[in-house]
Amino acid sequence: MSNLVADHLVLLDHLRSILVAVGEAEQVPEESHALFLERFDELRAQLPVEPVESQYLGQDLLCQVIQRYPQIAHLVPRDLLWFFGGDCLHYMPDDELELYQALEERRYEAELNDEPFDWNQEKQLLALSTQDSKH
């Protein structure tokens, strides 16, 4: 399993814990919430085994999180929206999309040159340099 998939599994686990908390706070219909969590768990199980095939399920579920649970939409990890892509990208502002596009380009360059690449570290560096250029 790649580091990228492993990182996203951690983010999915984090998002699931938020969803469970929302359910426990009884802010959603219990039955449909339980079914939604089951589908979420299917994605969690499928991602490490079939990362490409799980993309559509991931897109569908993340979009549903934002639509069904607008109160936690701001807590959805941005990396997950980017990773699953497709309709998820509609929930990211242009400046965020540009940041992630730049990250992908850096990652690709690092791979071409057999250089190590730390996604989270690069993301922080890019975010800082973007903030600096705005001030």
Residue 114 has pLDDT above 60, yes or no: yes
Summarize pLDDT for 44-88 with one digit per residue, the tens: 999 999 988 899 999 999 999 999 888 899 999 999 999 999 999
Does 26 score more than 80 pLDDT?
no
Q: Nearest 5°: CA angle at 80, between 122 and 115?
A: 30
Task: Evaluate whether 84 touches 58 at the Cβ level (below 8 Å).
Answer: yes
Q: Taking Cα atoms as reference points, which of 74, 117, 116 lies closest to residue 96?
A: 74
Whether the predicted pLDDT of 33 surpasses 70: yes
Report the pLDDT value the prediction gives residue 27, as an integer from 0 to 100: 67
Mean pLDDT of 9-13: 93
Angle between the 119-134 and 94-112 helix axes, to the nearest 10 degrees? 130
Contact 110, 117 (CB under 8 A): yes
Global pTM value: 0.86
pLDDT given at position 134: 61
Q: Which helix (H) or strand (E) holds 70?
A: none
Sign of CA dihedral 114, 116, 79, 99: negative
Best CA proximity match to 124, nearest among 78, 81, 88: 78
pLDDT number for residue 128: 83
The domain spans of the chain are 1-75, 93-135
3 state SS of 104: helix
